[in-house]
Structure 1
């Protein structure tokens, strides 16, 4: 008999950063399908945002921006039970790590690590009021994340992983904190990055999918399903974990 998950998030209030497209939008749709009230943020609105989600324009690249956004989130939702830190981006530097300018190292830390710290810190008092608070940070474990052209991005995500594990220990048992690390997933942002690599290597865009033991790249909805597990009552005894959802890519980028 199939389990009915259509109401497992009933009454839960969710906020997702970077929820305008790709994995963030897929997570929003999955939690909406489970009955949650969902707000998503990004710098601009897109057509990929699920129709049932509340869009809040915001910029979490500064502490002030994060504070303003958090205030609006709480005013809109009236509280928060689940926080998904998904915002992030990367720029490829094919010349290698030595060619990455200092400001891009700082930008990578800002966008992929400190944005999550700021958002979590500002919303933590409200999360502590929830009867079942949960945080999921979206990391990265694609085969290119820790290669020289993206080393600034990989280093920022490594910082996010370390922060998440420490936060899980600090906030237990009141709030659960986990990480989901996607492998090669089909999203607009990831597709753009892969194209830079495949163009440079002179191979077809679909060639990287052949590296995955399960024979294909993943879909954003498959990442969203793992997030749903971790934030639902089914994941009530899971905290401080990093779930790799990568089609069997193994230890690539896990250090």
Structure 2
């Protein structure tokens, strides 16, 4: 970004910061002069974060480990970016989703944000300032019944929780914002496109077209790139967005067909 977002020295926690959007967010905040702590289940060979914590955020213990690391290394936090999420649910519609699948989706897409916010918001409230960004998904509005019902429901719960939290803490100086991506061309989605292309006897671009068609089309003609989502997150976390709270910003290339 060429504009000054005034993020120098800000203490930032980014969850799931080793791949895809999370990695792009870590890199951008680092470039903008922030102090960044990130976390994942496995430590990468390299990271631009100032601090890395190995933790499984699907567990209470993992969230406690990250909270302790934030308080130990930073003494508090100014910005939290909840990127962690995803889906491992099988295809097959509602009947394929048992207790384990539902619990997994909620434990990955909702509860880490709830637990970390609960632990770290008191410090933000004490300092009278802070920004929390929850990465949701357009699938809360456009679920794919065959494969993403539980994921979409968990992201919808995250979005509702985020809206309620924003109304509670905005009068106390804390902004809470949601970012809802559509299809993002991450390493994982690129691998999916390649597998679909192989199955269909086409090339990578053909595989991308298969995914876009399954989403009902992307008017802009391509998925978002991780850095494009990171750019939006950095702006919303910055003083440039000082009066933005409680809102959800869709970045999907026009996938959602209504305003």
In 1: Cα distance, 2:114 partner to 2:199 partner: 34
1:225 Cα deviation (Å)?
Answer: 0.7
Residue pair 2:56, 2:62 contacting (<8 A) in 1 also? yes
TM alignment of 1:220-239, pairs within 5 A: 220-239=226-245
- Indicate the residue corresponding to 1:90 in structure 2: 87
In 2: Cα distance, 1:248 partner to 1:88 partner: 22
TM alignment of 1:141-220, pairs within 5 A: 141=138, 146-148=143-145, 149-173=147-171, 174-192=173-191, 204-207=206-209, 208-209=211-212, 211-220=217-226
Structure 2: 5+ residue stretches without partners: none
**What whole-Å deviation, never above 9, does each CA across 1:37-71 have from its counterpart, x for those lacking one?**
00100111224x64344211112212232122201
| Change over 3 Å in CA distance of 1:201–1:136 after alignment to 2 | farther
SS in 1 for 2:152: helix
Q: Please, which of 53, 76, 82 is the counterpart of residue 56 of structure 1?
A: 53
What's the TM-score, normalizing by structure 2?
Answer: 0.87
1:113 aligns with 2:119: no
In 1: Cα distance, 2:191 partner to 2:150 partner: 17
| Change over 3 Å in CA distance of 1:214–1:107 after alignment to 2 | same
- Indicate the residue corresponding to 2:18 in structure 1: 20
Residue pair 2:139, 2:152 contacting (<8 A) in 1 also? no
- Indicate the residue corresponding to 1:136 in structure 2: 133
Structure 1 runs (4+) greater than 4 angstroms displaced: 142-145, 192-203
SS in 2 for 1:129: helix
After superposing the two structures, state which structure 1 stretch, 88-97 or 36-45, moved more: 88-97
In 2: Cα distance, 1:75 partner to 1:31 partner: 20
What is the number of residues matched between the two proteins?
Answer: 250
| Change over 3 Å in CA distance of 1:155–1:198 after alignment to 2 | farther
1:45 aligns with 2:43: yes
**What whole-Å deviation, never above 9, does each CA across 1:54-106 have from its counterpart, x for those lacking one?**
21111221223212220111101222000011111202422212112221101
1:102 aligns with 2:132: no
SS in 1 for 2:115: helix
Residue pair 1:23, 1:221 contacting (<8 A) in 2 also? yes
SS in 2 for 1:71: helix
Residue pair 1:97, 1:150 contacting (<8 A) in 2 also? no
In 1: Cα distance, 2:74 partner to 2:124 partner: 12
Q: Please, which of 16, 32, 35 is the counterpart of residue 33 of structure 2?
A: 35
Residue pair 1:88, 1:111 contacting (<8 A) in 2 also? yes
In 1: Cα distance, 2:124 partner to 2:98 partner: 37
After superposing the two structures, state which structure 1 stretch, 198-207 or 33-42, moved more: 198-207
In 1: Cα distance, 2:31 partner to 2:169 partner: 28
What's the TM-score, normalizing by structure 1?
Answer: 0.88
